[in-house]
Chains A and B, each alone.
Chain A
């Protein structure tokens, strides 16, 4: 039962700043214990969504609830069970890591006698015991993120929301940090919502992702499902490198049915088509004595998913703008 329990649910959540719609009728449901990745480019409305979930800004329309508590009206209760690691988290630089955590503990009403034990435990958990007595102004970005996790865990939250947590971390730090996030979900059974525009990193740890562009959630689901969906919708991208790379080969590709776009990337051709061309191409290459150096059918990975959905969204946006303009001009008439 607990597995299927929807802990975060938004219903037609909308936020408009003046005429600019930052989040547009967002319907999201996140199950207890899963890691959900909210993906999208900068300015897609991810942070605004998070702020509404925490009751830090009021939605223009619709509602959101975490564990059945309304995020706007009952935000205190929501904040009690939800930990938030903001984008670019900051600490009081004059205070040590421990002092910062102690302050958070007091704000959360942790009994005075338990605070020190909790701090030790949390610092140990995020691997920051060695730096607990240093002032946080001396911390690196990675250390601050780790302390941020400890800070979030101080209230022992059921839901953890992270805004661009991997931004500015070095690869090693990133790997360890993602591991830590994974632990929070797998070992503690906490629900994690991660917003990011860095696809590859998030791909490694998310159970499900939602792709967010221009305030609209354009797709959501498991990563491999999204990949399959793209393929079934007829998006094929073939990466190919042949020797010799001459005009005859290019001409042949032009004669194939279903080719939508051919572009060159270094020595490789990128062929976009609406069907699988591998068989035809390899046959042609074999008969005409070409050497195949590289052949890869792209698709199914998040990068591809992202790109395809982005293009769709952009097209829709363009259509929208166009129709809007027509509409406007008609009005004037």
Chain B
């Protein structure tokens, strides 16, 4: 027992030695101008002029600032890596992978059968004529065999990935007693929550790109549909929207994890919110719109139809689910030309055609801003809440 004790004591001494050294250095830096003043009168003048011109920098303050930067960097780095490693080794990643794999395989299968049956129908003259431009995008947007398209599946199931990654971010650490150990380390407290968010966001990014590209690749392999540059760009933009969308749900579930005591509570709360936005929001919007602008009689329809539709979409757009779905449908379907209700009068003289990529983006960039804002607001609330919280043992 005695030898390790001795070595710690020795180590302590040596550390104290280095501490002294650094403080000596600081003193030396501080002394430097004084010494030169004593030696050289000319230099003194120059120095004084330079001093007047340059804002004074306290070497000690600078060293402290540098140290703060160092602390911020290494603690955030350590936390980020640990969170990422945790996620990668966790069982929940297996759950996510199973969900995503099932979703991707099913949607590719559905899309291929859907495209095939539509083409067959068109060839035999029974169905509508089949449009073969932007075929590659149809891999993502076509449903078939009663399997929803990849796009709508992601819109519905994607939030679940964010929820799984974030619902117990803070409160489980609290109940495990690891959080109060963590906050007593010499780190900035925000590194904890920022590190967690960044690690989960990284995982989401990797996963979304991996599955999105895998779906395209599988579709290409089985159908031989070749993508062109614009279609690839559209898919990539769509995937970026998806990342932001899932990150919103991550931020949302982290928000619940900051403000609830039990992981089960925050999981249920975020699932409830997810179901509300995915299912009930559209019903609610319809009810409110019909209540405010009734369209039951013919007269009311004539007067209120447009207002009713506008209010309905407006309310729906509060929901990130709707916002994302709308944006995705515009990006992935160049034939879609408008997101709001369009009157017949407006359509008179319109030439049917596809929107260019830039024009499609013009329609949906507010959606991206909206989703980003929602993400930042929920993260900000949890950030502030977390910073102000008093963390004590359970």
Alpha-carbon separation in the docked complex, A51 to B89 (Å): 33
Q: A79-B185, A103-B82 are in contact. Are A56 and B393 (CB under 8 A)?
A: no
Q: Which residues from chain B contact A79 at a C-beta distance below 8 Å? A: 184-187
Alpha-carbon separation in the docked complex, A117 to B99 (Å): 43
Residue in A54, A88, A93 whose beta carbon sits within 8 Å of that of B184 in the complex = A54
Q: Which residues from chain A contact B185 at a C-beta distance below 8 Å? A: 79, 104, 107-108, 155
Q: A107-B187, A188-B12 are in contact. Are A51 and B392 (CB under 8 A)?
A: yes
Q: Are B79 and A121 in contact (CB under 8 A)?
A: no
Alpha-carbon separation in the docked complex, A187 to B68 (Å): 32
Q: Are A155 and B186 in contact (CB under 8 A)?
A: yes
Band of interface residues on A: 35 or more
Q: A109-B71, A124-B4 are in contact. Are A57 and B390 (CB under 8 A)?
A: yes
B157-208 contacts to A, CB under 8 A, are 176-178, 180-188
Q: Are B178 and A90 in contact (CB under 8 A)?
A: yes
Cβ of A36 < 8 Å from any Cβ of B?
no
Alpha-carbon separation in the docked complex, A212 to B394 (Å): 21
Q: Are B8 and A125 in contact (CB under 8 A)?
A: yes
Residue in B79, B183, B393 whose beta carbon sits within 8 Å of that of A47 in the complex = B393
B236-292 contacts to A, CB under 8 A, are none
Q: Are B188 and A76 in contact (CB under 8 A)?
A: yes
Cβ of B380 < 8 Å from any Cβ of A?
no
Q: Which residues from chain B contact A87 at a C-beta distance below 8 Å? A: 393
Q: Which residues from chain A contact B390 at a C-beta distance below 8 Å? A: 51, 56-57
Nearest residue, chain A, Cβ from B178: A90
Alpha-carbon separation in the docked complex, A125 to B178 (Å): 22
Q: Are A80 and B186 in contact (CB under 8 A)?
A: yes
Q: Are B181 and A151 in contact (CB under 8 A)?
A: yes
Cβ of B101 < 8 Å from any Cβ of A?
no
Cβ of A91 < 8 Å from any Cβ of B?
yes
Q: Which residues from chain A contact B70 at a C-beta distance below 8 Å? A: 109
Contact mask for chain A residues 36-78; partner B; CB cutoff 8 A; 1 contact, 0 none? 0000000000011001001011000000000000000000110
Q: A51-B392, A106-B78, A107-B75 are in contact. Are A156 and B15 (CB under 8 A)?
A: yes
Q: Are B8 and A109 in contact (CB under 8 A)?
A: no
Q: Are B82 and A88 in contact (CB under 8 A)?
A: no
Q: Are A88 and B8 in contact (CB under 8 A)?
A: no
Q: Are A103 and B181 in contact (CB under 8 A)?
A: no
Q: Are B5 and A187 in contact (CB under 8 A)?
A: yes
Alpha-carbon separation in the docked complex, A108 to B177 (Å): 19
Alpha-carbon separation in the docked complex, A89 to B393 (Å): 8
Contact mask for chain A residues 139-158; partner B; CB cutoff 8 A; 1 contact, 0 none? 00000000010010101100
Cβ of A163 < 8 Å from any Cβ of B?
yes
Q: Which residues from chain B contact A89 at a C-beta distance below 8 Å? A: 177, 181
Alpha-carbon separation in the docked complex, A48 to B392 (Å): 8
Cβ of B9 < 8 Å from any Cβ of A?
yes
Alpha-carbon separation in the docked complex, A47 to B391 (Å): 11
Cβ of A173 < 8 Å from any Cβ of B?
no
CB distance from A284 to the nearest CB of B (A): 54
Total B residues in contact with A, Cβ cutoff 8 Å: 38
Q: Are A125 and B184 in contact (CB under 8 A)?
A: no
Q: Which residues from chain A contact B90 at a C-beta distance below 8 Å? A: 94
Q: Which residues from chain B contact A91 at a C-beta distance below 8 Å? A: 176, 178, 181
Q: A76-B71, A108-B186 are in contact. Are A88 and B4 (CB under 8 A)?
A: no
Residue in A77, A90, A109 whose beta carbon sits within 8 Å of that of B177 in the complex = A90
Q: Which residues from chain A contact B79 at a C-beta distance below 8 Å? A: 107
B85-142 contacts to A, CB under 8 A, are 86, 89-90
B1-34 contacts to A, CB under 8 A, are 1, 4-5, 7-9, 11-12, 15
Residue in B4, B8, B183 whose beta carbon sits within 8 Å of that of A56 in the complex = B183
Alpha-carbon separation in the docked complex, A77 to B67 (Å): 11
Alpha-carbon separation in the docked complex, A151 to B178 (Å): 12
Cβ of A306 < 8 Å from any Cβ of B?
no
Q: A47-B392, A94-B90, A103-B82 are in contact. Are A125 and B181 (CB under 8 A)?
A: no
A266-314 contacts to B, CB under 8 A, are none
Cβ of B43 < 8 Å from any Cβ of A?
no
CB distance from A24 to the nearest CB of B (A): 18
Cβ of B45 < 8 Å from any Cβ of A?
no
Cβ of A177 < 8 Å from any Cβ of B?
no
A105-123 contacts to B, CB under 8 A, are 106-109, 121
Q: A56-B390, A156-B15, A183-B5 are in contact. Are A109 and B74 (CB under 8 A)?
A: yes
Contact mask for chain A residues 189-209; partner B; CB cutoff 8 A; 1 contact, 0 none? 000000000000000000000
Alpha-carbon separation in the docked complex, A124 to B261 (Å): 37
Q: Are B78 and A86 in contact (CB under 8 A)?
A: no
Nearest residue, chain B, Cβ from A76: B186
Nearest residue, chain B, Cβ from A123: B4
CB distance from B387 to the nearest CB of A (A): 11
Q: A80-B186, A90-B176 are in contact. Are A125 and B5 (CB under 8 A)?
A: yes
CB distance from B16 to the nearest CB of A (A): 10
Q: Which residues from chain A contact B74 at a C-beta distance below 8 Å? A: 106-107, 109
CB distance from A191 to the nearest CB of B (A): 14
Q: A76-B71, A106-B78, A151-B181 are in contact. Are A88 and B15 (CB under 8 A)?
A: no
Q: Are B393 and A88 in contact (CB under 8 A)?
A: yes
Q: Which residues from chain B contact A104 at a C-beta distance below 8 Å? A: 181, 185
Q: 4 smallest A-B Cβ distances: which pairs?
A: A90-B177, A106-B78, A84-B184, A80-B186
Between A and B, 5 residue pairs with Cβ closer than 8 Å are A77-B186, A91-B176, A103-B82, A107-B79, A107-B185
Q: For the A-B complex with A86-B180, A125-B1 known, give 6 more contacts whose Cβ atoms are closer than 8 Å.
A: A47-B392, A51-B392, A84-B184, A90-B177, A109-B74, A187-B9
B-to-A contact residues, CB < 8 Å: 1, 4-5, 7-9, 11-12, 15, 68, 70-71, 74-75, 77-79, 82, 86, 89-90, 176-178, 180-188, 390-394
A-to-B contact residues, CB < 8 Å: 47-48, 51, 54, 56-57, 76-77, 79-80, 82-84, 86-94, 103-104, 106-109, 121, 124-125, 148, 151, 153, 155-156, 163, 183, 187-188
